[in-house]
Structure 1
């Protein structure tokens, strides 16, 4: 079975190595997903809604509402998506599937929360207006900035990155604790032209080590 390597090359038994497409490489998918998740998170630190409040009793007439206040779920979902992306980068095959699904759901959740703000900016700004002015339910006009739209696009892109990870992760290398030992053994066999000698040296070294410990317990110096 083909075994993808970190450099984007798939080893095929009895055939020349096949190169993995750029779009399917782990570095490409993970890097793009991280950027999109960070963009969604960063957008919540910016002003999403500008509100002008009418009334003589208000403490302030102009209120700006950040994305983290207008759509609190977006901040949390962006972090969930980022965590899912990082988990997909280090997980095994099954873990990658689970992590990629989490990324897809987080992306759709971000987009849905942003669309709710765009559809009803006054409703999203009510609690912030009441806290800033001391008046609840007063007359106010609201205006959206472009950040909710940008966050919506970022959420959709994050969901698409999760789908891309589901498809591309089948081509990614899977490392286990046995990989390093097997590759070292292969490298030693290729270096001296005989893998049998390397395999014979390992048991011999273990025997020498055991004999050395036995001599120490008898009070002898094994280095002599």
Structure 2
């Protein structure tokens, strides 16, 4: 009596790993669309002293690394055994990059706000400005750490995934090989003559 093989734990399943990693990448990218820094400039510096600096302006690297993480996570669903290791390495780099860029803004908010301040008053010097961090850079840093951990998760879980053979070349059957070998050669003149007569030049029967 045959028994079915035991199902893989949920945490090892390809769908779980891919979906979880995609959500982490999307979360990191989503933070960049929100306000990271609230800047209040001196009243004399500009008519509208309040500036909301988004994550895409404060840390452009986070946006780029988040897109890389999303693409890598999606690619993992169709990748082969060797490619999965490469994807895991890419995810690790993306996660570390997101965390590093986020921590950089947290450590030096003035540098993160420099670009937006420069657009507002013409100089990037934010001296005298009141800069307040929102929760977004902290969330981005946390997402980066989780993406790096997801790289390890992928490397461990992917060892049990089956390799997709959907696009593998199928060997020709004996009958197909024999039929192909018995077809007579055809040149361009013969093909043209058959075509002008309204016949199929590839039909030898």
TM-score under structure 1 normalisation? 0.74
Residue 63 (structure 2) aligned to one of 67, 75, 98: 75
Partner of 2:144: 155
Residue 76 (structure 2) aligned to one of 73, 77, 88: 88
Cα distance in 2 for partners of 1:101, 1:92 equals 14
Corresponding position: 1:120 with 2:108: yes
Cα distance in 2 for partners of 1:208, 1:92 equals 34
Residue 38 (structure 1) aligned to one of 26, 36, 47: 26
Quote how far apart the aligned CAs of 1:58 are. 2.0
**Matched positions, count:** 189
Cα distance in 2 for partners of 1:89, 1:25 equals 11
Cα distance in 1 for partners of 2:46, 2:177 equals 83
Cα distance, 1:136–1:108 mapped onto 2, change above 3 Å: closer
Cα distance in 2 for partners of 1:207, 1:135 equals 78
Corresponding position: 1:18 with 2:3: no
| More helix by percentage | 1
Corresponding position: 1:50 with 2:38: yes
Please tell me the root mean square deviation across aligned C-alpha atoms, in Å.
2.8
Cα distance in 2 for partners of 1:139, 1:124 equals 15
Cα distance, 1:178–1:151 mapped onto 2, change above 3 Å: closer
Cα distance, 1:67–1:204 mapped onto 2, change above 3 Å: closer
Cα distance in 2 for partners of 1:33, 1:178 equals 25
Cα distance, 1:135–1:160 mapped onto 2, change above 3 Å: same
SS in 2 for 1:18: coil
Structure 1: 5+ residue stretches without partners: 1-13, 183-198
Partner of 1:168: 157
Structure 2: 5+ residue stretches without partners: 195-202
Residue 174 (structure 2) aligned to one of 203, 211, 224: 203
Contact 1:59 1:132 in 2 (8 A): no
